[in-house]
Amino acid sequence: MRAYERLLKYVVVHTTSDEESESVPSTNIQFDLARLLEAEMKELGISDVSVDEHCYVTGRIPATKGCENAPKIGFIAHLDTAPDCSGENVKPLIHENYDGKDVFLKNGRAITTKLFPHLMTLKGRTLITTDGTTLLGADDKAGVAEIMTMAEEVITKGIPHGDIAIAFTPDEEIGHGASLLDIEKFGADFAYTVDGGPENEIEYENFNAAKAVFKIKGVSVHPGDAKDRMINAALLACEISSMLPAAETPAHTQDREGFYHLTDIKGDVENAEISYIVRDHDASLFEAKKKTLNMIEKIVNEKYGEGTVVLTITEQYRNMIEKILPHMHIVDTAKECIKEQGFEPLDVPVRGGTDGAMLSYRGLPCPNLGTAGYAFHGPLEHITAEGMDTVVNVMCAIIKKYA
């Protein structure tokens, strides 16, 4: 079975995660895909298949004879889809021998060459899109499908290999996908998440990340008697926002440039709250951004009175490159295998976080491979069958090299 055929089967299973939930998994519907995969993995002959109480699906393909001492390689993808757009009642559309032109969907939506110039390079391929009413779910059901197809090829074609560990995780889209994976049980020396963009993509850098929340306590008095008495918390939230660099926002930055992203602002005269996510690839610039926030807290309290503003900064994840650099053979091997498929490796810094970042800091070096998908998290999401085949071939080539 080709990877895209599995993708078509998986995307119709509703698995959206819930960022408001405190349970793991955040939604029980993720078990529906987990159980489907459990049965399929057993049918393929994968060993030690299990689904734990937190919806982590794991399995192992034991080393072939003579390869028992080869490195143990892991492959990881996630079950959930992003809550940004509906993932229920997905109706994928197949465009065979795609003509490289604009694709018109329902709800007046279109995947256009103006928005996505790469579409012209996909001419002649089998393009898979949504019908325009939901996301597709290639993020990351494409990764799941590609890992499953790789496993089938390794087993049925008798490809020599060391131990191969497989895991499918819940809740990646809400930042919890790798937190409860039992790394010791997983048993890999290193791993690859399969959760990126184009088929020639390799990612091993991501943002350093933190959440920052200013809680503001105002003084509410009658506006007719407010002179030198009122402190308007809502206005103060606006003042705090104006103290940050206007150019350092997601709308004005790219590549390795960091930002402050205002995610939420609420309040009234008496109380207000303003929330940011803070990002930078460079660790020293990241620390400087946090110092800027602390300085704003200090300045505002000196101006309006101690305790007017309380800032809480919570670190979320770190740049995985610090943990990947001592093991760069993982990246170099992937690049070699991408070149063997006729592509130039696309070395991309992730403007976000990945399961691989958390896993790398937990002791499992874990860069990220592309899935061949584009425009994730929305109704313009698309992918090609041929691109997915390439990803499967890259994984099989990595396995052969380490064997």
Told to judge if 270 belongs to the known catalytic residues of this protein, a careful annotator would answer: no
CB 216 within 8 A of CB 307: no
Kindly state the tokens that stand for 137.
């779910």
Burial of 96 (0-12, 13-18, 19+ CB in 10 A): exposed
**Options 38, 80, 280, 297, the catalytic residue:** 80
Rounded (5°) CA angle 186-28-144: 45
Give the separation between CA 46 and CA 59, rounded to whole angstroms.
6
Q: Is the bond preceding residue 25 a cis peptide, omega within 30 degrees?
A: yes
Residues 256, 7: Cα–Cα separation, whole Å: 32
Q: Do 388 and 2 meet the contact criterion of CB atoms below 8 Å apart?
A: yes
CB-based contacts of 302, cutoff 8 Å, min separation 6? none
Give the closest residue to 388 by CA, choosing from 141, 133, 155: 141
Cα separation values, 139 from 86, 180, 290, 309, Å: 13, 20, 31, 39
Task: Name the phi and psi angles at 131, rounded to 5.
Answer: -90, 0
Q: Exactly one of 139, 152, 171, 172 is catalytic; which is it?
A: 172
Known catalytic residue: 184? no
The catalytic residue positions are: 80, 172
